[in-house]
Amino acid sequence: MIPTIETERLRLTPPNSNCFDVYERFYTDLEASRMYGGPIDRERVWSRLKADLGSWHLLGFGVWAIQLKSDNSYVGTCGFWQGKDWPKELTWWVIPEARGQGIATEASKATLLHAYNKFKWVKVETYMNDENIAAHSVVKKLGGNKTGRRKFNDGLSRDVYELPKPS
């Protein structure tokens, strides 16, 4: 069973078919999704949502859908991703109209606590494209420590950060 995590403003829930609209808004928006393989068409958006849910069943971890408690709207995802032959990482995305409110940071802190306390992971890492300034900003707020640079399966090199357990 996929747990639900709550913070002061957010509810992190298992991805479900009700999340399709927010996935579609994000992944079909060129600027919003360009660091995440987008834009993509509706059918691939549906596949992405199914993959996010399937990760929980295949790997025992995955991303949660970020829901605002104030109005129950979905605004993004946050959690853990691991592509075939890729390292496991903390990842997140938030739709443009919900950015700049600390949502990614708040959700990331909650998922990091879950990883360290519930999954009992001894290390959590993240990595992102060099041009992803917003992601670098969140990593800084989370206290990320650059541990090196790796070349990935897609041919790109990325900085890798270890993320501490939030206090």
At 94 the pLDDT is 98
- Give per-residue pLDDT as tens, 48-103: 999 999 999 999 999 999 999 999 999 999 999 999 999 999 999 999 999 999 99
The CATH architecture of the domain made up of 5-163 is 3-Layer(aba) Sandwich (3.40)
Whole-angstrom Cα distance, residue 99 to residue 35? 15
Q: What is the mean pLDDT of residues 26-36?
A: 96
At 38 the pLDDT is 95
Structure tokens of 59? Answer: 């790997």
Residue 1 has pLDDT above 90, yes or no: no
At 150 the pLDDT is 96
CB 24 within 8 A of CB 38: no
- Give per-residue pLDDT as tens, 7-21: 999 999 999 999 999
Residue 67's contacts (CB-CB under 8 Å, 6 or more residues apart) are 10, 11, 12, 13, 73, 74, 75
Residue 32 has pLDDT above 90, yes or no: yes
- Give per-residue pLDDT as tens, 144-156: 999 999 999 999 9
Residue 81's contacts (CB-CB under 8 Å, 6 or more residues apart) are 55, 62, 63, 88, 89, 91
CB 85 within 8 A of CB 32: no
At 163 the pLDDT is 98
At 108 the pLDDT is 98
Q: What is the mean pLDDT of residues 119-140?
A: 96
Q: What are phi and psi of 160, to 5 degrees?
A: -115, 135
At 152 the pLDDT is 95
What does the mean pLDDT of the chain come to? 97
